[in-house]
Amino acid sequence: MYDLSSVRADFPILSREVYKRPLVYLDNAATTQKPRCVVEAIAEEYYSVNANVHRGVHFLSQQATDLHEAARERVRSFLNARSSAEIVFTRGTTESLNLVAFSYGEAFLREGDEVVLTVMEHHSNIVPWQLLRERKGIRLRVVPMNDAGELDLEAYRNLLNERTRLVCCAHVSNVLGTVNPVREMAAMAHACGAHFLVDGAQSVPHFPVDVQSLDCDFLVFSGHKVYGPTGIGVLYGREELLEQMPPYQGGGEMIARVSFERTTFERLPFKFEAGTPDYVGTHALARALDYVSDLGLDAIQCHERELTRYAMEQMALLPGMQLYGTAREKDAVVAFNLEGIHPLDLGTLLDRLGIAIRTGHHCAQPLMERCGVEGMARASFALYTTRAEVDAFVAGLDRVRKMF
């Protein structure tokens, strides 16, 4: 296990005060804080290496290109992809999903084909497929869940058929913290000839993710949720699928040759990276992946799951507490409501105590409907969260509860 006090010293924002109270930051599922090394990586690139990549013969351009492509290789290694050609840089999970919906949809989906989603998907893994449905006449099928927040695998099996082309599933629910059995689900999808996409936004920051072991066809994640900068993300895709998919956008960087008669496109992965890439962001993302790898993802997972268990035990002792998501496999997210208190009021009052949580529908309105609520409060933990912060959070909940 890593030294928590040393780790917290790497994150200057954790030492600040809010309303003259120590900050207790429990909104990590929305975005994580950044260690010094990531911010320093951004500064050092701008101050020392800044030049456009892939296009210049001068020293700075060559050096920036080397760092950018080294970052791609770092992501490949982090995910255990077969080739760096399978790593496409995007602006984040949302753009990665839209890229697949547009490009894979154009190449592989026809009217009447089916895409399977789950009831716990983030809006970013629902809306692009609805837009595709409007364009191409595909059908969307939805895997239900039980009251513990676990997917119904028998219902999932029954949804799969000869028309199923793609299954899209969150590795970890951003609301319930449920860790879905994506390896098993991918095998079931492949058995009926379908491809499988994993939304790894809430798994990649918390435990080891190996795309070859999962045997998924696509995996997406965002840099800002894994202690990296905002505006950078990743699409992993099997090389043979990416080769068949058309470009998502057109412009510079993704072309081999352009004339007014025709354009030929670059090789993978550049075919999907039109325009100047966020080469500063990729370098900082690589530094963030180094940071969590040096701490050890197994150690991070152990720490966060112990905190989650402890938090749920303490929260359950409060009168009027309603916890959502009690799956056997659960990660560092706790969703809840307190009887008689609107989640927005709860979040606002906790904020005055210096405690940052998230409230609302969490970009998962179909899941809210399944649970019979308009919204929930959510606390989410990170590698730097302490037991003392959990205690302060629970004490804050109790104080707010007694006000109503």
The rounded distance, in Å, linking the Cα atoms of 144 and 374 is: 19
The distance in angstroms from the start CA to the end CA of the chain is 41
Nearest CA-CA partner of 141 in 149, 152, 373, 182:
152
Is 363 one of the catalytic residues?
yes
Catalytic residue among 169, 216, 302, 363: 363
d(CA 271, CA 263): 12
Asked if residue 233 lies in contact with residue 155, where contact means CB atoms within 8 angstroms, the answer is: no
CA 100 to CA 46: how far, in whole Å? 31
With beta carbons less than 8 A apart as the criterion, state whether 355 and 392 touch. Answer: yes
In which region does residue 151 sit, left (phi positive, over 0), alpha (psi from -120 to 50) or beta (all else)?
Answer: beta
Are 289 and 36 spatial neighbours (Cβ–Cβ below 8 Å)? no
CA distance 71 to 84: 10
Sign of the Cα pseudo-torsion (41, 43, 47, 52, in order) = positive
Instruction: Find, among 282, 244, 361, 278, the residue nearest to 78 by Cα.
Output: 282
Structure tokens at 102: 């547009």
Q: What angle do CA 362, 220, 150 make, to 5 degrees?
A: 55
Torsion 287-290-296-297 (CA) sign: positive
Tokens of 235: 């699409």
Q: Residue 34 in 3-state DSSP?
A: coil
Q: What is the 3-state secondary structure (H, E, C) of 336-388?
A: EEECCCCHHHHHHHHHHCCEECEEECCCCHHHHHHHCCCCEEEEECCCCCCHH
| Lookup: tokens for 302 | 């152990």
Q: Which residue has the tokens 């919204």?
A: 375
Do residues 251 and 298 touch, judged by C-beta distance below 8 A?
no
> Could you tell me if 5 and 389 are in contact, meaning their C-beta atoms sit under 8 angstroms apart?
no
Point out the residues that are catalytic: 363
